[in-house]
Amino acid sequence: MIPPQATLVFDILLEDIHNPKDNITVESQEVPEPCARRSVAGDYIRYHYNGTFLNGVTFDTSYQRNGTYNTYIGMGYVIPGMDQALLGVCQGERRRVIIPPHLAYGEQGAGDVIPPSAVLVFDIHVIDFHNPSDKVEIEIIYKPEVCNDTTAVNDLVRYHYNCTLMDGTLLFSSHDYENMQDAVLGQDKVIDGLDEGLRGMCVGEKRRIIVPPHLGHGERGAAGVPSSAVLVFNIELVSFERGVPPGYLFVWLEDTPADLFEAMDMNKNGEVPMEEFGEFIKLQVSEGKGRIKPGMTMEEIVADMFQNQDRNKDGVITPNELKLKVDEDKEREQARHEEL
Ligand SMILES: [Ca+2]
Ligand SMILES: [Ca+2]
Protein backbone atom coordinates (compact mmCIF):
# COMPACT_ATOMS: atom_id res chain seq x y z
CA MET A 1 0.00 0.00 0.00
CA ILE A 2 2.58 2.53 1.08
CA PRO A 3 5.56 2.39 -1.21
CA PRO A 4 9.04 2.42 0.25
CA GLN A 5 10.56 5.84 0.89
CA ALA A 6 7.15 7.52 0.51
CA THR A 7 6.48 10.84 2.10
CA LEU A 8 3.18 10.85 3.91
CA VAL A 9 0.93 13.88 4.20
CA PHE A 10 -1.67 14.03 7.00
CA ASP A 11 -4.46 16.51 7.39
CA ILE A 12 -4.95 16.80 11.10
CA LEU A 13 -7.77 18.54 12.82
CA LEU A 14 -7.03 19.00 16.51
CA GLU A 15 -10.34 18.32 18.24
CA ASP A 16 -9.08 18.90 21.71
CA ILE A 17 -6.16 18.47 23.95
CA HIS A 18 -5.74 18.08 27.66
CA ASN A 19 -3.36 16.87 30.29
CA PRO A 20 -4.67 14.52 33.00
CA LYS A 21 -3.16 16.86 35.58
CA ASP A 22 -5.17 19.81 34.28
CA ASN A 23 -7.55 21.52 36.59
CA ILE A 24 -10.39 23.65 35.31
CA THR A 25 -9.44 26.92 33.64
CA VAL A 26 -11.47 30.06 34.20
CA GLU A 27 -11.45 32.70 31.44
CA SER A 28 -13.28 35.84 30.36
CA GLN A 29 -14.60 36.64 33.78
CA GLU A 30 -17.04 39.51 34.10
CA VAL A 31 -17.56 40.24 37.78
CA PRO A 32 -20.19 42.80 38.71
CA GLU A 33 -19.28 45.52 41.19
CA PRO A 34 -20.02 45.47 44.02
CA CYS A 35 -19.90 41.78 44.73
CA ALA A 36 -21.27 41.53 48.24
CA ARG A 37 -20.82 37.82 48.50
CA ARG A 38 -19.27 34.85 46.72
CA SER A 39 -20.81 31.41 46.45
CA VAL A 40 -19.70 28.65 48.81
CA ALA A 41 -20.38 24.92 48.94
CA GLY A 42 -23.95 24.29 50.07
CA ASP A 43 -25.39 27.34 48.30
CA TYR A 44 -28.21 26.83 45.84
CA ILE A 45 -27.46 28.47 42.52
CA ARG A 46 -29.48 29.43 39.44
CA TYR A 47 -27.44 29.94 36.29
CA HIS A 48 -27.55 29.85 32.54
CA TYR A 49 -24.92 28.04 30.53
CA ASN A 50 -23.87 27.29 27.03
CA GLY A 51 -21.78 24.12 26.69
CA THR A 52 -19.47 23.60 23.71
CA PHE A 53 -16.55 21.46 22.71
CA LEU A 54 -13.15 23.03 22.05
CA ASN A 55 -14.12 23.23 18.36
CA GLY A 56 -17.00 25.53 19.23
CA VAL A 57 -19.84 23.08 18.58
CA THR A 58 -22.60 23.44 21.14
CA PHE A 59 -23.69 20.21 22.81
CA ASP A 60 -26.07 21.63 25.42
CA THR A 61 -27.47 24.98 26.46
CA SER A 62 -29.89 26.17 29.12
CA TYR A 63 -30.96 29.07 26.93
CA GLN A 64 -33.13 26.74 24.84
CA ARG A 65 -35.10 25.76 27.92
CA ASN A 66 -37.62 27.77 29.83
CA GLY A 67 -35.38 28.66 32.72
CA THR A 68 -32.07 28.54 34.46
CA TYR A 69 -30.28 25.42 35.56
CA ASN A 70 -30.63 25.16 39.34
CA THR A 71 -28.50 23.11 41.70
CA TYR A 72 -26.70 22.95 45.02
CA ILE A 73 -23.00 23.73 44.73
CA GLY A 74 -20.18 21.46 45.89
CA MET A 75 -22.36 18.47 46.65
CA GLY A 76 -21.75 16.30 43.60
CA TYR A 77 -24.99 17.05 41.80
CA VAL A 78 -23.08 18.21 38.70
CA ILE A 79 -19.80 17.05 37.11
CA PRO A 80 -16.79 17.80 39.39
CA GLY A 81 -15.45 20.49 37.04
CA MET A 82 -18.75 22.35 37.12
CA ASP A 83 -18.95 22.05 40.90
CA GLN A 84 -15.56 23.78 41.03
CA ALA A 85 -16.56 26.33 38.40
CA LEU A 86 -19.56 27.46 40.45
CA LEU A 87 -17.58 28.04 43.65
CA GLY A 88 -16.55 31.59 44.49
CA VAL A 89 -18.75 33.25 41.90
CA CYS A 90 -20.65 36.53 42.36
CA GLN A 91 -24.33 37.06 41.59
CA GLY A 92 -24.51 38.25 38.00
CA GLU A 93 -21.01 37.02 37.16
CA ARG A 94 -20.19 35.62 33.75
CA ARG A 95 -17.26 33.26 33.26
CA ARG A 96 -16.00 30.74 30.76
CA VAL A 97 -14.65 27.51 32.21
CA ILE A 98 -12.71 24.83 30.42
CA ILE A 99 -13.13 21.43 32.00
CA PRO A 100 -10.77 18.50 31.26
CA PRO A 101 -12.46 15.12 30.75
CA HIS A 102 -11.37 13.62 34.08
CA LEU A 103 -13.44 16.40 35.76
CA ALA A 104 -16.27 15.93 33.23
CA TYR A 105 -17.45 12.70 31.58
CA GLY A 106 -14.07 10.95 31.40
CA GLU A 107 -12.97 8.33 28.94
CA GLN A 108 -16.51 7.03 28.69
CA GLY A 109 -18.14 10.23 27.53
CA ALA A 110 -21.91 10.44 27.89
CA GLY A 111 -24.30 8.79 25.48
CA ASP A 112 -24.42 10.27 22.01
CA VAL A 113 -23.82 13.75 23.36
CA ILE A 114 -20.32 13.75 24.84
CA PRO A 115 -17.62 11.72 23.06
CA PRO A 116 -14.94 9.90 25.07
CA SER A 117 -12.26 12.10 26.69
CA ALA A 118 -13.84 15.35 25.55
CA VAL A 119 -12.77 18.70 26.96
CA LEU A 120 -15.85 20.81 27.70
CA VAL A 121 -16.21 24.59 27.58
CA PHE A 122 -19.01 26.25 29.49
CA ASP A 123 -20.03 29.88 29.28
CA ILE A 124 -21.80 30.46 32.56
CA HIS A 125 -24.03 33.35 33.62
CA VAL A 126 -24.84 33.31 37.32
CA ILE A 127 -28.33 34.69 37.99
CA ASP A 128 -28.49 34.29 41.76
CA PHE A 129 -27.66 31.99 44.63
CA HIS A 130 -28.72 31.72 48.22
CA ASN A 131 -28.20 29.48 51.18
CA PRO A 132 -31.16 27.66 52.76
CA SER A 133 -30.17 29.30 56.07
CA ASP A 134 -30.30 32.86 54.62
CA LYS A 135 -32.46 35.44 56.34
CA VAL A 136 -34.00 38.56 54.86
CA GLU A 137 -31.38 41.20 54.12
CA ILE A 138 -32.56 44.71 54.89
CA GLU A 139 -30.69 47.77 53.71
CA ILE A 140 -32.01 51.15 54.82
CA ILE A 141 -31.80 53.52 51.86
CA TYR A 142 -33.40 56.52 53.51
CA LYS A 143 -34.63 57.18 57.03
CA PRO A 144 -36.46 60.41 57.95
CA GLU A 145 -34.79 62.41 60.70
CA VAL A 146 -37.87 62.13 62.87
CA CYS A 147 -38.70 58.49 63.22
CA ASN A 148 -40.58 57.84 66.44
CA ASP A 149 -43.38 55.54 65.40
CA THR A 150 -42.46 52.41 63.56
CA THR A 151 -44.54 49.60 62.10
CA ALA A 152 -45.18 46.38 64.00
CA VAL A 153 -47.11 43.15 63.68
CA ASN A 154 -50.89 43.65 63.14
CA ASP A 155 -50.45 47.17 61.74
CA LEU A 156 -52.07 48.07 58.44
CA VAL A 157 -49.27 49.42 56.23
CA ARG A 158 -49.47 51.24 52.90
CA TYR A 159 -46.41 51.16 50.72
CA HIS A 160 -44.96 51.44 47.29
CA TYR A 161 -42.65 48.78 45.98
CA ASN A 162 -40.70 47.50 43.02
CA CYS A 163 -39.85 43.83 42.87
CA THR A 164 -37.03 42.59 40.66
CA LEU A 165 -34.87 39.53 40.23
CA MET A 166 -31.19 39.81 41.21
CA ASP A 167 -30.30 40.59 37.60
CA GLY A 168 -32.62 43.60 37.65
CA THR A 169 -35.51 42.05 35.71
CA LEU A 170 -38.63 43.89 36.87
CA LEU A 171 -41.39 41.58 38.07
CA PHE A 172 -43.92 43.84 39.78
CA SER A 173 -44.33 47.44 40.69
CA SER A 174 -47.03 48.99 42.85
CA HIS A 175 -46.98 51.92 40.44
CA ASP A 176 -48.68 49.60 37.93
CA TYR A 177 -51.78 49.48 40.10
CA GLU A 178 -54.27 52.23 40.67
CA ASN A 179 -54.06 51.90 44.41
CA MET A 180 -51.07 51.68 46.61
CA GLN A 181 -50.34 48.31 48.15
CA ASP A 182 -51.58 47.69 51.65
CA ALA A 183 -51.21 44.77 54.00
CA VAL A 184 -51.72 43.84 57.62
CA LEU A 185 -48.36 42.74 59.00
CA GLY A 186 -47.87 39.34 60.60
CA GLN A 187 -51.06 37.87 59.19
CA ASP A 188 -49.82 36.05 56.09
CA LYS A 189 -51.01 38.75 53.72
CA VAL A 190 -47.67 39.01 51.90
CA ILE A 191 -44.67 36.67 51.56
CA ASP A 192 -42.76 36.22 54.84
CA GLY A 193 -39.66 38.07 53.67
CA LEU A 194 -41.56 41.17 52.66
CA ASP A 195 -43.63 41.04 55.86
CA GLU A 196 -40.43 41.07 57.89
CA GLY A 197 -38.89 43.80 55.75
CA LEU A 198 -41.91 46.05 56.31
CA ARG A 199 -41.60 45.90 60.10
CA GLY A 200 -39.89 48.54 62.20
CA MET A 201 -40.26 51.16 59.44
CA CYS A 202 -41.28 54.75 59.89
CA VAL A 203 -43.36 56.74 57.41
CA GLY A 204 -41.22 57.92 54.50
CA GLU A 205 -38.52 55.36 55.08
CA LYS A 206 -37.07 53.55 52.08
CA ARG A 207 -35.48 50.13 52.11
CA ARG A 208 -33.95 47.58 49.81
CA ILE A 209 -34.84 44.06 50.87
CA ILE A 210 -33.36 40.84 49.56
CA VAL A 211 -35.64 37.86 50.06
CA PRO A 212 -34.35 34.28 49.67
CA PRO A 213 -36.86 31.92 48.02
CA HIS A 214 -37.73 30.02 51.21
CA LEU A 215 -39.09 33.35 52.55
CA GLY A 216 -40.53 34.25 49.14
CA HIS A 217 -42.28 32.09 46.57
CA GLY A 218 -40.17 28.99 47.17
CA GLU A 219 -39.36 26.20 44.79
CA ARG A 220 -42.71 26.50 43.11
CA GLY A 221 -42.32 30.15 42.20
CA ALA A 222 -45.42 32.17 41.33
CA ALA A 223 -46.89 33.95 38.33
CA GLY A 224 -43.85 35.65 36.80
CA VAL A 225 -41.52 34.46 39.58
CA PRO A 226 -39.13 31.65 38.57
CA SER A 227 -38.66 28.62 40.78
CA SER A 228 -36.27 29.28 43.72
CA ALA A 229 -35.63 32.89 42.70
CA VAL A 230 -34.08 35.43 45.06
CA LEU A 231 -36.21 38.60 45.03
CA VAL A 232 -35.19 42.22 45.53
CA PHE A 233 -37.77 44.68 46.81
CA ASN A 234 -37.38 48.42 46.89
CA ILE A 235 -40.04 49.67 49.28
CA GLU A 236 -41.23 52.99 50.62
CA LEU A 237 -43.60 53.20 53.56
CA VAL A 238 -46.29 55.76 52.78
CA SER A 239 -48.45 55.45 55.89
CA PHE A 240 -49.62 53.01 58.50
CA GLU A 241 -52.31 52.52 61.11
CA ARG A 242 -51.84 50.70 64.35
CA GLY A 243 -53.61 47.37 64.26
CA VAL A 244 -55.31 44.92 66.57
CA PRO A 245 -54.53 41.22 67.10
CA PRO A 246 -56.16 38.68 64.76
CA GLY A 247 -59.83 38.08 65.61
CA TYR A 248 -60.24 41.45 67.34
CA LEU A 249 -62.29 44.42 66.11
CA PHE A 250 -61.49 46.70 69.03
CA VAL A 251 -58.80 46.74 71.72
CA TRP A 252 -58.53 48.75 74.91
CA LEU A 253 -55.41 50.89 75.17
CA GLU A 254 -56.12 51.62 78.81
CA ASP A 255 -57.69 49.55 81.55
CA THR A 256 -61.20 48.37 80.79
CA PRO A 257 -63.82 50.30 82.82
CA ALA A 258 -64.50 48.53 86.13
CA ASP A 259 -68.16 48.08 85.23
CA LEU A 260 -68.22 47.97 81.47
CA PHE A 261 -71.98 47.67 81.12
CA GLU A 262 -72.64 50.63 83.38
CA ALA A 263 -70.14 52.74 81.41
CA MET A 264 -71.81 51.74 78.16
CA ASP A 265 -75.42 52.21 79.29
CA MET A 266 -75.16 55.97 79.15
CA ASN A 267 -78.87 56.68 79.82
CA LYS A 268 -78.94 54.06 82.60
CA ASN A 269 -82.04 52.19 81.40
CA GLY A 270 -80.48 48.72 81.76
CA GLU A 271 -80.05 47.99 78.08
CA VAL A 272 -77.76 49.10 75.25
CA PRO A 273 -79.12 49.37 71.71
CA MET A 274 -76.87 49.70 68.65
CA GLU A 275 -76.87 53.54 68.70
CA GLU A 276 -75.77 53.73 72.31
CA PHE A 277 -73.16 51.05 71.73
CA GLY A 278 -71.82 52.92 68.69
CA GLU A 279 -71.61 56.19 70.65
CA PHE A 280 -69.67 54.45 73.38
CA ILE A 281 -67.11 52.87 71.02
CA LYS A 282 -66.61 56.15 69.12
CA LEU A 283 -66.03 57.96 72.39
CA GLN A 284 -63.36 55.47 73.47
CA VAL A 285 -61.55 55.86 70.14
CA SER A 286 -61.75 59.68 70.12
CA GLU A 287 -60.43 59.82 73.67
CA GLY A 288 -57.57 57.48 72.79
CA LYS A 289 -58.75 54.79 75.20
CA GLY A 290 -59.36 52.21 72.51
CA ARG A 291 -58.51 51.37 68.94
CA ILE A 292 -60.52 49.73 66.18
CA LYS A 293 -59.26 47.38 63.51
CA PRO A 294 -57.81 49.43 60.63
CA GLY A 295 -59.17 48.95 57.14
CA MET A 296 -62.80 48.86 58.33
CA THR A 297 -65.22 51.74 58.86
CA MET A 298 -66.47 52.59 62.34
CA GLU A 299 -69.99 51.61 61.21
CA GLU A 300 -68.84 48.14 60.12
CA ILE A 301 -66.95 47.65 63.37
CA VAL A 302 -69.87 48.76 65.54
CA ALA A 303 -72.36 46.58 63.63
CA ASP A 304 -70.11 43.49 63.87
CA MET A 305 -69.34 44.00 67.54
CA PHE A 306 -72.98 44.64 68.35
CA GLN A 307 -74.08 41.45 66.60
CA ASN A 308 -71.52 39.50 68.63
CA GLN A 309 -72.74 40.95 71.93
CA ASP A 310 -76.50 40.84 71.31
CA ARG A 311 -76.51 37.12 71.79
CA ASN A 312 -80.30 36.59 71.68
CA LYS A 313 -80.65 38.98 68.73
CA ASP A 314 -83.39 41.13 70.27
CA GLY A 315 -81.72 44.40 69.30
CA VAL A 316 -80.31 45.34 72.69
CA ILE A 317 -77.36 44.23 74.78
CA THR A 318 -78.20 43.38 78.39
CA PRO A 319 -75.76 43.08 81.31
CA ASN A 320 -75.73 39.26 81.22
CA GLU A 321 -74.98 39.25 77.48
CA LEU A 322 -72.01 41.61 77.55
CA LYS A 323 -68.63 39.92 77.60
CA LEU A 324 -65.10 41.05 76.81
CA LYS A 325 -63.48 39.08 74.03
CA VAL A 326 -60.53 38.19 76.30
CA ASP A 327 -62.94 36.66 78.82
CA GLU A 328 -64.85 34.87 76.07
CA ASP A 329 -61.60 33.41 74.76
CA LYS A 330 -60.64 32.34 78.26
CA GLU A 331 -63.98 30.61 78.80
CA ARG A 332 -63.70 28.87 75.45
CA GLU A 333 -60.19 27.74 76.32
CA GLN A 334 -61.36 26.44 79.68
CA ALA A 335 -64.24 24.57 78.12
CA ARG A 336 -61.83 22.95 75.72
CA HIS A 337 -59.59 21.83 78.57
CA GLU A 338 -62.52 20.43 80.48
CA GLU A 339 -63.54 18.42 77.45
CA LEU A 340 -60.12 16.84 77.36
CA1 LIG B 1 -79.29 52.39 77.56
CA1 LIG C 1 -80.02 40.98 73.56
What confidence tens digit (pLDDT) does each residue in 298-340 have?
A: 999 999 999 999 999 999 999 999 988 888 888 888 888 777 6
Mean pLDDT (the chain, rounded): 92
Distance 304 CA to ligand 2 centre (A): 14
* Ligand (nearest to CA of 319): 2
Q: Of 21-30, 164-173, 217-226, 281-290, which range is least confident?
A: 21-30
* Ligand (nearest to CA of 322): 2
Distance 33 CA to ligand 1 centre (A): 71
- Tell which wins on pLDDT, 280 or 176: 280
* Ligand (nearest to CA of 277): 1
- What is the rounded average pLDDT of the residues 283-292? 95
Query: Residues 95, 96, 97, CA angle at the centre, nearest 5°?
Result: 115
Distance 311 CA to ligand 2 centre (A): 6
Class of domain 250-332: mainly alpha
* Ligand (nearest to CA of 312): 2
Distance 140 CA to ligand 1 centre (A): 52
* Ligand (nearest to CA of 269): 1
Distance 134 CA to ligand 1 centre (A): 58
Class of domain 25-130: alpha beta
**Cα(81)–Cα(68) distance, integer angstroms:** 19
**Percentage of the chain lying above the pLDDT 90 cut:** 75
**What number does CATH give the domain 137-241?**
3.10.50.40
Distance 276 CA to ligand 2 centre (A): 13
The predicted model scores a pTM of 0.80
Asked if 80 and 106 touch (Cβ cutoff 8 Å), the reply is no
**Cα(161)–Cα(231) distance, integer angstroms:** 12
Q: Give residue 229's identity as a one-letter amino acid code.
A: A
Asked if 257 and 99 touch (Cβ cutoff 8 Å), the reply is no
Asked if 40 and 55 touch (Cβ cutoff 8 Å), the reply is no
- What is the rounded average pLDDT of the residues 75-99? 95
User: Which H or E element spans position 326?
Assistant: helix 325-339
Question: 25-130 and 250-332: same fold?
Answer: no
Q: What is the 8-class DSSP label of residue 102?
A: G
Domain boundaries, the chain: 25-130, 137-241, 250-332
Distance 107 CA to ligand 1 centre (A): 93
Longest dimension (CA), the chain: 132
**Cα(98)–Cα(321) distance, integer angstroms:** 79
Distance 262 CA to ligand 1 centre (A): 9
Give alpha helix (H) positions in 178-320.
192-197, 260-264, 274-286, 298-309
Confidence of residue 190 (pLDDT cuts 50, 70, 90): very high
* Ligand (nearest to CA of 273): 1
Distance 270 CA to ligand 2 centre (A): 11
Q: What is the 3-state secondary structure (H, E, C) of 117-150?
A: CCCEEEEEEEEEEECCCCCCEEEEEECCCCCCCC
Distance 321 CA to ligand 2 centre (A): 7
